[in-house]
């Protein structure tokens, strides 16, 4: 009877445990073989089941294909690595397996929240790092697996150092990041499914209302932070909040568009660069965000 090894689903990157074998070699190749053997032995010794991943673990997947994962290579964070676990949570959606799409939907919603607790400033992430997650499969769910491991993983190349920056932030930096993150979370989490306002005016107005509320909270938090550039940003965001409120109360699509254009421009990430510099935070707008506002 065949026995299947327990595995978990990895969205975006998969890691399948590799068994390393050392073959016979010629005398002239002994030195290289010894070095290779040492590296192979180290890699094997560092293998850990994906079920035992902990927040803070830095690791290298053992494969690149999207699918299932059995094990990863755990490495010290000061060594080059491809990923780090930055959050985890348990799914409590009843006893039945939610399905692959259901599990992914839960992880899509929860992992950004968990990741921000660990690495609040997404602008400071290494270039090319994106959010991925390990989730239960139907088979592992049957054994009691409910855990989701959220990771920042480099799609190409590696990075060094831990992404755990939350503990090193000053109070004013934390206040700024919490407010700023909430604004963009409100924008994207409430994105209507329809492409045009005419097809879903109510949905776009609801999004505008959520963004306006997040901006009000962000502006209030900035009131307690000193700095010339922070003050300028606060004024910009106050004006933007007013435009989002106008969009939220628009009587029709035309009125919505009139308010939406300046509202959207008002939260352009580039507007916050000077304030971020004043606060000692990262100042390079992530490529994906820069592309959205460039259009």
Alpha carbon of 108 to those of 111, 122, 149: distances in Å? 6, 16, 12
Q: Which one has a higher pLDDT value, 70 or 86?
A: 86
SS3 243: helix
Q: What average pLDDT does this structure show over 105-128?
A: 92
**pLDDT given at position 201:** 95
Please write down the long-range contacts of 44-52, taking CB distance under 8 Å and 24 or more positions apart.
Answer: 44/20, 46/73, 46/74, 46/75, 47/17, 47/71, 47/72, 47/73, 47/74, 48/72, 48/73, 48/74, 49/6, 50/7, 50/8, 50/10, 50/15, 50/134, 50/149, 51/6, 51/8, 51/140, 51/145, 51/147
State what percent of residues in the chain have pLDDT above 70.
82
Q: Which one has a higher pLDDT value, 67 or 157?
A: 157
CA 234 – CA 226 distance, rounded (Å): 11
Q: What average pLDDT does this structure show over 22-37?
A: 33
Q: How confident is the model at residue 38 (pLDDT cuts 50, 70, 90)?
A: very low
Start-to-end Cα distance in the chain: 58
**pLDDT given at position 67:** 56
Q: What average pLDDT does this structure show over 99-118?
A: 90
**pLDDT given at position 37:** 34
171 exposed, middle or buried (CB, 10 Å; 0-12, 13-18, 19+)? exposed
Q: Which one has a higher pLDDT value, 248 or 45?
A: 248
Mean of pLDDT over the chain = 83
Return the ∠ at Cα 238 (arms to 292 and 199), rounded to 5°: 50
Asked which of 27-36, 47-56, 76-85 is least confident by mean pLDDT, the reply is: 27-36
Q: Is the pLDDT of residue 253 over 90?
A: yes
Q: What average pLDDT does this structure show over 156-177?
A: 93
Phi, psi (deg, nearest 5) at residue 39: -65, -40
Q: Is the pLDDT of residue 20 over 60?
A: no
Q: What average pLDDT does this structure show over 202-208?
A: 95
Q: What average pLDDT does this structure show over 57-66?
A: 74
């Amino acid at each position: 009877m065949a026995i299947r090894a327990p595995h978990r689903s990895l969205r975006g990157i998969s890691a399948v445990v590799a068994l390393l074998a050392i073959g016979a070699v010629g005398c002239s190749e002994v030195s290289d073989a010894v070095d290779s053997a040492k590296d192979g032995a180290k890699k094997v010794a560092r293998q850990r089941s994906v079920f035992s991943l902990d927040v803070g673990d830095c690791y290298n997947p053992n494969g690149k294909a999207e699918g299932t994962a059995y094990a990863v290579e755990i490495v010290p964070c000061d060594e080059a690595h491809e990923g780090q676990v930055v959050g985890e949570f348990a799914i409590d959606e009843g006893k039945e397996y939610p399905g692959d799409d259901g599990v992914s939907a839960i992880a899509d919603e929860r992992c950004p929240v968990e990741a921000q607790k660990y690495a609040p400033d997404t602008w400071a992430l290494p270039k090319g790092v994106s959010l991925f997650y390990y989730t239960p499969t139907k088979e592992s769910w049957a054994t009691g697996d409910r855990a989701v491991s959220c990771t920042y993983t480099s799609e190409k190349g590696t990075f060094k150092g831990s992404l755990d920056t939350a503990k090193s932030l000053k109070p004013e930096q934390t206040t700024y990041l919490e407010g700023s993150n909430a604004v963009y979370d409100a924008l994207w989490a409430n994105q209507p499914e329809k492409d045009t306002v005419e097809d879903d005016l109510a949905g776009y107005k609801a999004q505008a209302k959520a963004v306006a509320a997040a901006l009000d909270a962000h502006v209030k938090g900035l009131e307690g932070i000193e700095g010339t550039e922070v003050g300028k940003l606060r004024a910009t965001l106050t004006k933007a909040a007013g435009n989002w409120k106008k969009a939220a109360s628009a009587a029709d699509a035309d009125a919505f568009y009139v308010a939406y254009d300046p509202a959207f421009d008002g939260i352009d990430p580039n507007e916050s660069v000077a304030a971020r510099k004043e606060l000692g935070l990262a100042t390079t707008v992530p490529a994906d965000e820069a592309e959205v506002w460039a259009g």
